[in-house]
């Protein structure tokens, strides 16, 4: 089972290392990443998306804007990334800093990300890949000065709504 991976964001700098996180009270029912998926690459063009405030429509965002802190502009703190034609990330940047306030939108997003992963693990294993995307778990990584500590989930890529 792959529990450690390397993540690269084009033009951001070095690779980052991530380790699959064991969720509280989880039975660890996530599928393993394929053996050739030990290093995942996020391209710079057409790969990062956020939900706009208000109408919540999906909108592309540049790497440089991620670093400036999307949640400060009223955007959701959850960023979606297309990683090849096989995987999708849901990323929570600056997770350590931005979850200090338990009433913040970022903290609520963190809780939703964890609850969603837990629900997949507990209830959707038989439907994954048929009616719902395959979920590969939740992964923390430290990106240092770029966007701090990041918590993200990896799922099967099924397109952008």
For residue range 51-102, what is the model confidence (pLDDT) as tens digits? Answer: 776 777 778 877 777 665 554 444 456 788 888 788 999 888 877 765 666 6
Q: Which pLDDT belongs to residue 6?
A: 94
**Using only C-alpha atoms, what is the Rg of the chain?**
15
Residue 9 to residue 141: CA distance in whole angstroms: 13
pTM: 0.84
Extended beta strands in the chain, E state? 4-9, 16-19, 39-42, 48-51, 58-60, 78-83, 87-92, 135-142, 149-156
Above 90 in pLDDT, residue 112?
no
Domain residue spans of the chain:
4-156
Residue 156 to residue 128: CA distance in whole angstroms: 9
Residue bearing tokens 């030990």: 38
Q: Which pLDDT belongs to residue 63?
A: 74
128 against 107, higher pLDDT? 128
Q: Which pLDDT belongs to residue 44?
A: 74
CA atoms within 13 A on the CB side of 118: 10
Residue 67 to residue 108: CA distance in whole angstroms: 21
In angstroms, the Cα distances linking 125 to 26, 27, 29, 59, 154 are: 13, 12, 7, 30, 15
Expressed in angstroms, the distance from the first to the final Cα of the chain is: 31
The answer to whether 39 and 16 are in contact (CB under 8 A) is no
In angstroms, the Cα distances linking 109 to 77, 81, 85, 145, 150 are: 7, 16, 25, 22, 13
105 against 5, higher pLDDT? 5
Average pLDDT over residues 13-42: 83
């Amino acid at each position: 089972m792959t529990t450690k991976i390397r993540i690269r964001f084009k033009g951001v700098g070095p690779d980052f290392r991530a380790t699959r996180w064991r969720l509280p009270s989880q039975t660890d029912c996530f599928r393993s990443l394929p053996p050739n998926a030990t290093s995942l690459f996020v391209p710079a063009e057409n790969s990062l998306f956020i939900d706009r405030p208000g109408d919540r429509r999906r909108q592309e965002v540049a790497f440089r804007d991620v670093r400036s802190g999307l949640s400060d502009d009223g955007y959701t703190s959850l960023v979606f990334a297309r990683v090849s034609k096989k995987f999708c990330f849901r990323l929570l940047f600056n997770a350590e800093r931005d979850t200090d306030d338990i009433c913040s939108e970022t903290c609520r997003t963190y809780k939703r990300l964890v609850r969603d992963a837990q629900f997949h693990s507990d209830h959707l294993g038989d439907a994954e890949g048929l009616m719902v995307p395959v979920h590969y778990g939740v992964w923390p990584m430290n990106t240092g000065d770029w966007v701090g500590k990041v918590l993200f989930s990896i799922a099967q890529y099924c397109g952008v709504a």
